[in-house]
Amino acid sequence: MPYLYETHCHTSEASGCASASAAEQVKHYKELGFSGVMITDHFFNGNTSIDRSKSWEEMVDDYCLGYENGKKAGDELGMTVMFGIEYTYRGTDFLIYGLDKDWVKAHPEIMELYVPELSKLVRSEGGIFVHAHPFRQVDYIDTIRLFPDDVDAVEVYNAGNRQDVMNERAEWYADSWGLVKTSGSDCHHLSQDTFGGIVTDEPLNDIQDYIRLIKTNSLSGILRAEKM
Q: Which residues bind Zn ion (CB under 5 A)?
A: 17, 47, 86, 186
By beta-carbon distance, which residue lies closest to Zn ion? 17
Cβ at position 8, least distance to Zn ion in Å: 5
* Closer Cβ to Zn ion, 162 or 176, answer by number: 162
Give the CA distances from residue 2 to residues 35, 37, 121, 122, in Å, rounded to whole numbers and listed in that order. 10, 15, 33, 29
Task: For residue 200, list its beta bridge partners.
Answer: 3
If the CB atoms of residues 51 and 102 are measured against Zn ion, the closer one turns out to be 51
- Closer to Zn ion at the Cβ: 3 or 43? 43
Which one-letter DSSP state was computed for residue 226? S
CB of 73 to Zn ion, least distance (A): 20
Q: Which is nearer to Zn ion, 91 or 108 (CB)?
A: 91
Give kind and range of the element (H or E) at residue 214.
helix 207-215
Q: Which is nearer to Zn ion, 12 or 119 (CB)?
A: 12
Distance from C-alpha of 102 to C-alpha of 97, rounded to nearest angstrom? 14
- The dihedral built from the CA positions of residue 31, 219, 203 and 75, taken in this order, carries a sign that is negative
111/92 Cα distance (integer angstroms): 14
What minimum distance in Å lies between the beta carbon of 100 and Zn ion?
Answer: 20
User: At closest approach, how far in Å is the CB of 155 from Zn ion?
Assistant: 9
The CA distances from residue 154 to 73, 158, 163, 171, in Å, are: 29, 10, 17, 8
Question: Which ranges constitute the DSSP H helices of 78-197?
Answer: 101-105, 115-124, 164-177
Residue 184 C-beta: closest distance to Zn ion, Å: 8
